[in-house]
Chain A
């Protein structure tokens, strides 16, 4: 096969998303490289996997060769690539974006197979923005520069810290890395409210409407924290690394101020502070392969929702079997994170190299599919925990008193008015920048709180809190910035853990 014939076959198979046929064009040790991947794919299987992931988000692909020259086993092809790309510029709404650019491909052949196929082009058409501007009004996590170096495009603000959410890749690449390989997230903005002292567990139990009295050292537990009127303030995953210490790894809420205020002047023997602990998450099926070799503790013995005080890359840290992916993974919480965190980060990145580790933000699409949400005081206005996805964790009958008990008891006595459901939306949803109103044909109302393109379902999916009488199978109409959209109500999660 000549370079021209090989490149023609490559383009045709790519346009069909036929990665298997692409793989067969390459030599066993063939190499494929384009500017949008971190490092070349070497070997037929690696090439096939890379092409499968990249071509997944591309529809209506047309490749035209404009000029070509060829000599022996080498061919150069100047061409134009045209496609509708889902996630161009990192958009997560599922809308295909017209993305056309020119390229130069180099094909080297050996024994009729492609030994090397390299494409040269500028990424600007795929990622028009260099990155969002940042201002010094918010704190940085210890991993800030690491995320800049990893080409983070966009940050949100969370607990007055920059929150890296989007990098220079098509969203499906990050999604595939989470489901097939391993990802590293800077979630140092998940601040820890530390409760320390002889009354740590009892005080924690007082703050939570879930019964926490059984929490043992080494346990992690999901908690629902309400204020006195019964509104949800935060739903942290909590760690008990030591007998007298509990960390509430909380969302976007001033939880430490609030808890410290309750403790001040009281009889609780606790000190409430925000320690220098900035977590990272290592999520994906290969998370253990990455972390185990650099962690002193044996992670194969660390059960789900358990944590251990250990060393990671020689630095003191807590490692937990928790995370926001709705699948397998760990969180690493280095002690003195502002000093030691960057070195721990580097060690994880290095350990992850053989496993294709990608530095990503949390994968919203997967979170929605798995029904994993985040409720907090500032974005969770008017939600009480009975309306939340995790309403089963409201334990009104628990032995200890707790903040919000009277209010929650009254809410239950009066009848819970809303519940959380899934929505299968017809059409492409815009980016959810604030909540969308919805109602059914009887005028019963609700609010879409999470929405994303689901790669597993290949359609738009959302999570909403709706009138308690809106049930599975009902049709609702959503008001979005694109106009009215129709959806069918379903249950959560959308997909099971293994899929």
Chain B
């Protein structure tokens, strides 16, 4: 694993909260980290302000996992935040190229008294200071077993 340290995503979210109006990200890396921080803090208002009708989110651990536009994204996050007791991203510093940023890290989830760690990659793209796309890459099999509530 890279020796780059873990980024404090909460601090990135906080730095945008102090500004007036909806967040307008200075870089794709900050957009990526701010989304991760807002997700961990279940800050639906922040996420709503960071997206547009053109935003695409691909999140294997929520249902449906492909979300397009404000309505779908807000609705899915509302449901996800009800289900998840605690979920935090531990991300290394992203590498960015223009409007694209990619980072590696892990999603840590607490449920039923157990902590699970899922290694992942996360890609974020921005457009005019808003999130254009966020895609999580990780094996969500264990999450599906849990959230489908069908088998186990």
Which residues of A pack against B, CB within 8 Å? 35, 67-71, 74, 76, 78, 102-104, 106, 108, 116, 118, 120-124, 127, 130-131, 133, 148, 151, 168
**How far is A127 from B141 in the complex, measured between Cα atoms in Å?**
9
A116→B102 contact, CB < 8 A: no
Given the complex of chains A and B, what is the CA–CA distance between A71 and B102 in angstroms? 11
Q: Which residue of A lies closest to B1 (CB)?
A: A116
A to B CB contacts below 8 Å, 25 in the list: A67-B123, A69-B97, A70-B95, A71-B95, A76-B103, A78-B121, A78-B137, A102-B135, A102-B137, A103-B137, A104-B123, A106-B121, A116-B1, A118-B104, A118-B119, A120-B104, A120-B120, A120-B121, A120-B137, A122-B139, A122-B141, A124-B141, A130-B144, A130-B151, A133-B150
CB distance from B150 to the nearest CB of A (A): 8
Q: Is the CB of A121 within 8 A of B96?
A: no
Q: How many A-B residue pairs have CB under 8 A?
A: 75
Contact assessment for A69 and B96 in the assembled complex, using a CB-CB cutoff below 8 Å: yes
A124, B140: Cβ atoms closer than 8 Å: yes
User: Interface readout for B89-122 with A: 1 if CB under 8 Å, 0 if not?
Assistant: 0000001110011111000000000000001110
Which among B95, B135, B140, B148 is the interface contact of A69 at CB below 8 angstroms?
A: B95
| Chain A hits for B60, CB < 8 A | 122, 124
Asked whether, in the complex, the Cβ of B138 is within 8 Å of the Cβ of A122, the reply is yes
Write out the residue numbers on chain A whose beta carbons fall within 8 Å of the beta carbon of B137.
Answer: 78, 102-104, 120-122
Taking A67-B102, A104-B123, A121-B137 as known contacts, 12 extra A-B pairs with beta carbons closer than 8 A to each other, sorted by chain A number, are A67-B123, A69-B97, A74-B2, A78-B102, A78-B123, A103-B137, A104-B102, A120-B119, A120-B137, A121-B139, A122-B141, A133-B151
**By the criterion CB–CB under 8 Å, are A76 and B104 in contact?**
yes
Is B26's beta carbon under 8 Å from chain A?
no
Check B141 against A130 for contact (C-beta < 8 Å): yes
Cα–Cα distance between A130 and B140 once the two chains are bound (Å): 11
Q: Which of B100, B139, B145, B152 contacts A67 (CB 8 A)?
A: B100
Closest CB in chain A relative to B116 CB, distance in Å: 14
For B96, what are the chain A residues with a Cβ–Cβ distance below 8 Å?
69
Could you tell me the distance between the alpha carbons of A418 and B4 in the complex, rounded to whole angstroms? 70
Shortest Cβ distance from A154 into chain B, in angstroms? 13
Ranked 6 nearest A-B pairs via Cβ? A104-B121, A35-B139, A120-B137, A76-B102, A104-B137, A120-B121
- A3 → chain B closest CB, angstroms: 10
CB <8 Å contact, B151 and A69: no
B102 closest partner in A (C-beta): A76
A residues less than 8 Å from B119 (CB atoms): 118, 120
Which among A69, A108, A124 has the highest number of chain B CB atoms within 10 Å? A69
Closest Cβ–Cβ distance, residue B60 to chain A (whole Å): 5
Given contacts A69-B95, A69-B100, contact A131 B151 (CB under 8 A): yes
A168, B142: Cα distance in complex, Å: 12
Contact A69 B102 (CB under 8 A): yes
Task: Find chain A residues with CB under 8 A from B1 CB.
Answer: 116
- Say whether, besides A69-B95, A69-B101, A76-B95, A123 and B141 are in contact (CB < 8 Å): yes
Interface residues of B in 66-101 (CB under 8 A from A): 95-97, 100-101
CB neighbours of B139 from chain A (8 A): 35, 120-123
Considering only residues 128-144 of chain B, those with a C-beta below 8 Å from chain A are 135, 137-141, 144
Closest B residue by C-beta to A151: B141
Binary contact readout B24-62 vs A (1 if CB under 8 angstroms, 0 otherwise) = 000000000000000000000000000000000000100
Tell me the bound Cα distance from A116 to B119 in angstroms.
14
Contacting residues, chain B, for A130 (C-beta < 8 A): 141, 144-145, 148, 150-151
Bound-state CA distance A106–B138 (Å) is: 13
A499 CB to closest chain B CB (Å) equals: 35
Residues of the A chain whose Cβ atoms lie less than 8 Å from the Cβ of B140: 122, 124
Q: How far is the CA of A67 from the CA of B138 in the complex (A)?
A: 17
Q: Smallest Cβ distance from B29 to chain A, in angstroms?
A: 10
Please give, as numbers and ranges, the residues of chain B lying within 8 Å of A76 by CB-CB distance: 95, 102-104, 121
Which residue in chain A gives the minimum CB-CB distance to B94?
A: A69
**Interface residues as binary, B1-20 with A (CB distance below 8 Å gives 1, 0 otherwise):** 11000000000000000000
A79 to B37, CA, bound (A): 26
Provide the residues of chain A in CB contact with B102, threshold 8 Å: 67, 69, 76, 78, 104
Q: CA–CA, A288 to B29, complex, Å?
A: 53
A40 to chain B, nearest CB (A): 10
A68 neighbours in B (Cβ, 8 Å): 97
B123 touches A106 (CB 8 A): no
Contacts of A116 in B (CB 8 A): 1
Q: In the complex, what residues of B have CB within 8 A of residue A133's CB?
A: 150-151
Within 8 Å CB of A108, what residues of B? 2
Nearest CB of A to B108, in Å: 15
Q: Which residues of A contact B95 (CB under 8 A)?
A: 69-71, 74, 76
The CA-CA distance from A488 to B104 in the complex, in Å, is: 53
Query: For residue A168, which residue of chain B has the nearest CB?
Result: B141
CB distance from A122 to the nearest CB of B (A): 5
Cα A124 to Cα B145 in complex, Å, equals 12
User: Shortest CB–CB separation between residue B27 and chain A, in angstroms?
Assistant: 13
CB distance from A57 to the nearest CB of B (A): 19
Give every chain B residue within 8 A of A122 (Cβ-Cβ).
60, 137-141
For A120, list chain B residues within 8 Å (CB): 104, 119-121, 137-139
